[in-house]
Structure 1
Amino acid sequence: MAALAVCLLAGCGNADNGNTAVQAAEAKVTSKQKALDDAKASATAATAQFCSSSAAYITALDRYGDVLNQTAPTVGDVTTAGRDLKQPSADAVSAGEAAASAHEAIGTAEQELATAEAELAKARAAATGGTAPATATASGSPTPSSTPTVPGEVVTRVQQAESDFATAQAGISDATPLRAASVQFNAAAVALQMAWLQLYAATGCLTDAQQEKAAAAVHDYTAALQQDLAEAGYFTGKVDGVYGPTTVAAVEALQKAHDLPVTGSVDKATEAALRADLVAKGGATAGAQVASTAAVQQTLKLAGYWDGPVDGQWTDALTEAVTTLQKDLGVPTTGKVDAATVSALEKAIATAKETPTATVTSTVTSTVTTTVSPSSSAAP
């Protein structure tokens, strides 16, 4: 009896109680770690589903936006106003919401794990008669998640573009002139497609190599656009290849000047308006533009991609010819003669010159179409 009293006074049972508390805390940490691992796995799967669904939607949009491939919307396309986009759009939005929820679950799981780890530190300190570390006295401070987050402005842009596209659809009726309907619909589709492409990239759907290639293509395209806008008098900033607020404002100014839908994205009508302004500027600018276009026409004619006149006038048909050449050369299909296109074409011509038995035209055409796989073409 006396021994029991001494034991109670000395706290003989505290060690067992402390061990029990530590074991319980360790079990909780293990459980919360598993929950975090499961949350990350779910988020990875949800992101993959979003990438797949959004890619399908972007492809469907391209039928009307004409950003990735040369397409020609028909009267039926305009009058039906993209009804075939409803399901791909719903799938992409649903997948996006699921991915967002899955990533939020990671944050919750991280917080719960941090709290459990703080409780374990306290239990261990109590069991050894020590003091819990200062970092363990709070309710838990989770380590910042490595999960990529999408900038809010990117999501906002998609939401606004979706709303604008719906408005464009609603504004097209049987009484709408065909050209006006086409311009209105293409402008909204291009803006929407560009918004989704930005979201697609920001969500991590591209590999590092794809991201690098896409960034280079966008930079080259934007730099060329900025130069054209500057020559036309709309852009006063630095030609840096960054499609930022200054470039958007310049495109919007161009669109306002030509009474086009103001989207900040370059659609077919905006591109045509810009080229018309460049020609109308006159003087050296117009002359250089005409000479440059004539050179493009002559080169494409030699390569077998252009059968129209060499008159220095840039038309939709010429854009289509350039895009076809780019596809065959395996370079980004921008519709413009950029550095990548010139480099690839020079290589093809150099290879053609090594075969002196054929005529220049047939040799260049053969070289372009046989030595470069069309299937290797990359979208901008």
Structure 2
Amino acid sequence: MTSPGAGGHRSLLPAALSLAGCLALVLTACSSTPESDLTVAQANVTAKEKALADAEQAAADAGDALCSASSSYITALDRYGDVLHQTAVTVGDVQTAGADLGKPAAATKDAALDAKKAQDDVAQAQEDLDDAQAALVEAQASASATPQEPAKAETPTPLATLPAGSVSRVEEAEDEFEATQEGISADTPLVEAAEKFNAAAVALEAAWIHLFADSGCLSEDQAKQADANVSAYTKALQTSLKEAELYKGDVDGIYGPQTVAAVEELQKANDLPVTGTMDKASQLALQSTLGAKAGVDAAESTASTAALQQTLTLAGYWDGPVDGEPSDELTAAVKQAQKDLGVPATGEVDAATVAAFEQALADLQEPEPAASPDPAETAESDPTPSETPED
């Protein structure tokens, strides 16, 4: 026979379990009120804002490290323009010329990877904050009939970035530089080795300079000055290429496709590495081309000036040397001749002046007409008949 106490105990278990379940539901309901969800959402936004600020600071530090490393690397690359053009340069120098670039190159690449990762972290932190702010808006909607707009985070300071185009240009230049080093052996002629190595070093340096500027490593004033310097250099280059009849575009200071094509044409014509970038050998080739053209122009100018001096000499306006050299005295002589010949005294030989000179020269070359004899002079000049001597 079952005792009442025992039976009563068994009959209370289901009720106790049921009560515990109800309490659990009540507690769950209490822990998930709109007010508590709002508090959690607000705390989450605060945490994500701090995470974003930390990520931005880390990215800024990584950007500074990249700027410092790339500056050192660019300086190391720039040395080789001088090394390769010293009189004591040898093929061995060219073969070992990249040895001291290994450490700064590796440091710069590591800094670039760190900067890229830091930027990715910033992007992820911003995305997390956006999600947290969206959740806060939903929590506000549940807690109030009139949801409040979440506080907007301050606009972050722009960070140094790694533009994809500049990064690709650096990667290509690095590959070309390594290939150039591998292609130079002890049997490579010195001039060829120097030209190839210098062309590759200059192209690599130019690529890193672009990345350095594009990554925000320059202050606003420095960036403006750099742009002005690049524009001035490019205008001067375009002008020289145009004088050499290699460039057909506008002199606009933009190192664009037409300028690159003109430099490549110059390099092809002189059997140089075709990079589209002005290296030392290309500069010498351009100077040589302009010098040859200037020599022809100078010869023509000298001949023309000498002819002018000769004409003025025959016309009686010039007693200086006939040497083909222009001078202030020669200009003054031209002006005086123009005044006497009745043409505008500009000091410049134009068509009217040439015609007047030719006429004056023709007049000078005509023989003077013979003068009629003076009877008196004739009488005086005739010999007096000698008297017949007396026997």
1:65–1:187: 8 Å Cα contact kept in structure 2? no
Deviation at 1:265, TM superposition (A): 1.0
Asked if 1:185 corresponds to 2:197, the answer is: yes
For structure 1, list consecutive stretches of 5 or more residues without a partner in the other structure: 1-12, 136-141, 291-380
1:196-235 equivalences under 5 Å are 196-235=208-247
| Partner Cα distance (1:228, 1:287) in 2 | 20
Asked if 1:37 corresponds to 2:53, the answer is: yes
- Counterpart of 1:23? 39
Deviation at 1:54, TM superposition (A): 0.5
| Partner Cα distance (2:299, 2:148) in 1 | 79
1:122–1:132: 8 Å Cα contact kept in structure 2? no
| Partner Cα distance (1:184, 1:34) in 2 | 52
1:169-180 equivalences under 5 Å are 169-180=181-192
- Counterpart of 1:83? 99
Match of 1:272 among 263, 278, 284: 284
Deviation string for 1:177-226 (max 9, x for gaps)?
11111111000000000110110011011111211221111111110000
Q: What amino acid sits opposite 1:48 in the alignment?
A: D
2:80–2:97: 8 Å Cα contact kept in structure 1? no
| Partner Cα distance (1:187, 1:200) in 2 | 20
Distance 1:112 1:286, change over 3 A: farther
| Partner Cα distance (2:188, 2:125) in 1 | 54
Deviation at 1:286, TM superposition (A): 6.2
| Partner Cα distance (1:286, 1:262) in 2 | 31
Deviation at 1:77, TM superposition (A): 3.0
Deviation at 1:44, TM superposition (A): 0.4
1:128-167 equivalences under 5 Å are 128-130=144-146, 146-167=158-179
- Counterpart of 1:304? none
Asked if 1:74 corresponds to 2:86, the answer is: no
| Partner Cα distance (2:222, 2:85) in 1 | 24
- Counterpart of 1:317? none
Deviation at 1:156, TM superposition (A): 1.1
- Counterpart of 1:328? none
- Counterpart of 2:269? 257
Which of 1 and 2 has greater Rg?
2
Deviation at 1:78, TM superposition (A): 0.7
Deviation at 1:145, TM superposition (A): 8.6
How many residues are treated as equivalent by the alignment?
271
1:158–1:199: 8 Å Cα contact kept in structure 2? yes
| Partner Cα distance (1:37, 1:201) in 2 | 25
Deviation string for 1:243-299 (max 9, x for gaps)?
1222111111111111111111111110011111112335776679x9xxxxxxxxx
Distance 1:234 1:15, change over 3 A: same
Deviation at 1:130, TM superposition (A): 4.7
SS at match of 2:33: helix
Deviation at 1:132, TM superposition (A): 8.4
Q: What amino acid sits opposite 2:239 in the alignment?
A: Q
Asked if 1:116 corresponds to 2:132, the answer is: yes
| Partner Cα distance (1:286, 1:129) in 2 | 89
| Partner Cα distance (1:115, 1:71) in 2 | 59
SS at match of 1:281: helix
Deviation at 1:155, TM superposition (A): 1.2
Distance 1:285 1:169, change over 3 A: farther
Q: What amino acid sits opposite 2:89 in the alignment?
A: T
- Counterpart of 1:64? 80
2:247–2:259: 8 Å Cα contact kept in structure 1? yes
| Partner Cα distance (2:199, 2:268) in 1 | 13
| Partner Cα distance (2:131, 2:252) in 1 | 47
| Partner Cα distance (1:160, 1:286) in 2 | 43
Q: What amino acid sits opposite 1:83 in the alignment?
A: A
Distance 1:36 1:14, change over 3 A: same
| Partner Cα distance (2:299, 2:215) in 1 | 44
Distance 1:180 1:44, change over 3 A: same
- Counterpart of 1:104? 120
Taking structure 2 as the reference length, the TM-score comes to: 0.64
Deviation string for 1:131-175 (max 9, x for gaps)?
688x9xxxxxx9899445443221111111101100110011110
| Partner Cα distance (1:170, 1:29) in 2 | 55
| Partner Cα distance (2:118, 2:189) in 1 | 46
| Partner Cα distance (1:287, 1:111) in 2 | 71
* Percent identity of equivalent pairs: 46
- Counterpart of 1:55? 71
| Partner Cα distance (1:42, 1:150) in 2 | 15
Q: What amino acid sits opposite 2:115 in the alignment?
A: A
SS at match of 1:175: coil
